[in-house]
């Protein structure tokens, strides 16, 4: 008589061995490479640097836009017609973007230690943002607040510390 328990155990062992051999053969041809934590940290730092450069370029662009508008108005006041008129492309002044405006105001009105106080008032842990200089620290703080839904708390802390500054309304 056949002992079916032995047959089932033998079948399970056989399939397990076959599955193990197939997995080993498959894994030999597959090499999974993971980025180290330091590489990810470096990429994050580089992203922050590039974001800061973009914000600075947008700010510079807004200054040039204001300058062109001023010069155009001067030419028109003298009764002349400007040979070149700015187009509509890129005409929006950067101050219309709330995140950039918050960054600009924090950089303009707060010192390095005060930025850390703002973070504490907004409930943002100090290890959550970085920056060795005031602009990069302010940018990192605003980015963290935007990513983690803390912008309203950050702007409230800014209003509390600098009530005379016109802070953007938060409808984000």
CA distance 164 to 122: 19
Q: Model-level pTM?
A: 0.47
CB contact set of 140 (below 8 Å; sequence gap of 6+): 48, 129, 130, 131
Task: Characterise 79 by phi-psi region: left (phi > 0), alpha (psi -120 to 50), beta (else).
Answer: left
Q: Model confidence over 77-86: pLDDT tens digits?
A: 788 877 776 6
- The two tokens of residue 44 are 């994050």
Instruction: Assess if residue 170 is contained within a domain.
Output: no
Q: Over the stretch 57-76, which tens digit does the pLDDT of each residue have?
A: 777 776 676 667 667 767 77
Q: What is the mean pLDDT of the chain?
A: 79
Domain that holds residue 16: 1-32
Clarify whether residues 9 and 38 are in a common domain.
no
| 122 shares a domain with 102 | yes
In the three-class reduction of DSSP (H, G, I as helix; E, B as strand; rest coil), residue 11 is classed as helix
């Amino acid at each position: 008589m056949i002992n079916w328990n032995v047959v089932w155990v033998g079948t399970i062992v056989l399939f397990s061995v076959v599955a193990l051999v197939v997995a080993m053969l498959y894994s030999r041809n597959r090499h999974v490479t993971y980025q180290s934590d330091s590489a990810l940290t470096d990429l994050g730092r580089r992203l922050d640097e590039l974001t800061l450069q973009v914000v600075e370029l947008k700010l510079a662009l807004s200054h040039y836009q204001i300058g062109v508008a001023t010069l155009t108005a001067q030419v028109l006041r003298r009764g002349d017609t400007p040979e070149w008129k700015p187009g509509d492309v890129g005409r929006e002044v950067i101050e219309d973007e709330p995140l950039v405006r918050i960054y600009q105001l924090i950089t303009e009105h707060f010192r390095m230690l005060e930025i850390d106080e703002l973070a504490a008032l907004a409930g943002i842990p100090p290890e959550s943002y970085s920056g060795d200089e005031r602009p990069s620290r302010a940018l990192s703080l605003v980015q963290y607040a935007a990513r983690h839904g803390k912008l309203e708390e950050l702007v409230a802390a800014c209003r509390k510390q600098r009530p005379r500054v016109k802070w953007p309304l938060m409808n984000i």
